[in-house]
Amino acid sequence: MKRKNNYPVFVILLFIILMIAFFRSGSPQYNLKKMTEKTRTNFLMNTLVQIRVYGEDPDRVIDRSFERIQNIEEMMSRTLAGSDIYRINENSSSSEFIPVNPDTFKVLERALFFAELTGGKFDPTIGPLVELWGIGTADARVPTEEEVKEALSLVDYRKLILNPGDNGVKLLLEGMKLDLGGIAKGFAADEVKKILKEEGIESAYINLGGNVMLVGGKPDGSPWKIGIQDPRFNRGNVMASIELEDKTIVTSGNYERYFEEDGVIYHHILDPETGYPASSGIISVSIICDSSLDADALSTSVFILGMEKGLELINQLEGYEAIIITDDLGIVLTEGLKGKVTLLNKDFYFLGSD
């Protein structure tokens, strides 16, 4: 009597068991099928905000994120009546501290930190100059030297007083005005990332008008490929790229907001020392680190400081990298980025390379 051969049946059963184990193991390929990609764009904080989320319920998460950004705008806008910054500016020289939200106080504390760190090149009291030039508005114009001098007399971060006991804020001179345009978007990006992490999102892309925040890598496990803006043109034109995961990259450039008068370009990054648009031989700075708030402040600071002092600043900070583009299209990278930036336009070149 011949023994029946059960080998084929055994192989089939083993295959089924392995497939069940594979799908229950949470493999990337299987989880990717469960994910839904959702991208939404909104206009907040005076810029276009794009949020792309990969998850099981992305709409709800994006709703939370946009609500948080709007909440931050309502606290920190210079022009929105009733905001913390608006109330402080309206009560400059008041003998009383103006109470503000803890978030606003936190951002002002960090703004003062960077003001001290940069010797005043980053200054949250630059509001009078911002209003005087009006760059990015219909009222943009070149002011007179006397007007610039008068506005400069009201720009001094050392006359911004904070009271941690009750989140109170005071400006010591009448006419002083705060402007958090160089840091508030970064804070908003950090807050969105915090929400996404709380919601268990492992892959997302956030862009607040040049403030890019990445949650993890792409859904397939590969890093995000981020384009570096060509500073000679409007947004959407890139001259290089870099691969990043779970980082922020913030770029400040002379292409963002500007106007032209008598053949001269006037951009929006104002030097608190001179009162005029910064002229440091730099046309673009990108900062890469973990905190978008820090990157926001540092990209502005390095742009104003110039190549030598800007690099000195970044090199003394652990965990911070920079891509600096000079006005003759040379590119300088901090040590941690060398060999990681891919050029896409032959007009540009790496300074210091053979």
DSSP 181-229: TTTHHHHHHHHHHHHHHHTT--EEEEEETTEEEEESS-TTSPPEEEEEE
User: Pick from 84, 61, 62: which is nearest to 73 by CA?
Assistant: 84
Using alpha carbons only, give the angle 142, 144, 149 rounded to the nearest 5 degrees: 115
The structural domains of the chain, with segments of one domain joined by +, span 79-171
Q: Are strands 211-215 and 224-229 parallel, antiparallel or unpaired?
A: unpaired
- The DSSP 8-state label assigned to residue 254 in this structure reads T
Per the listing, tokens 């001094």 go with 156
State phi, psi for 242 to the nearest 5 degrees. Answer: -150, 145
pLDDT of residue 254: 84
pLDDT of residue 34: 63
The answer to whether 174 and 153 are in contact (CB under 8 A) is: no
DSSP 53-88: EEESSHHHHHHHHHHHHHHHHHHH-SSSTTSHHHHH
Does domain 79-171 correspond to CATH entry 3.40.50.300? no
**Residues of the chain below pLDDT 70:** 1-34, 353-354
Residue 269 burial class via C-beta count within 10 angstroms: exposed 0-12, middle 13-18, buried 19 and up: buried
Tokens read off for 30: 């299987």
pLDDT of residue 259: 85
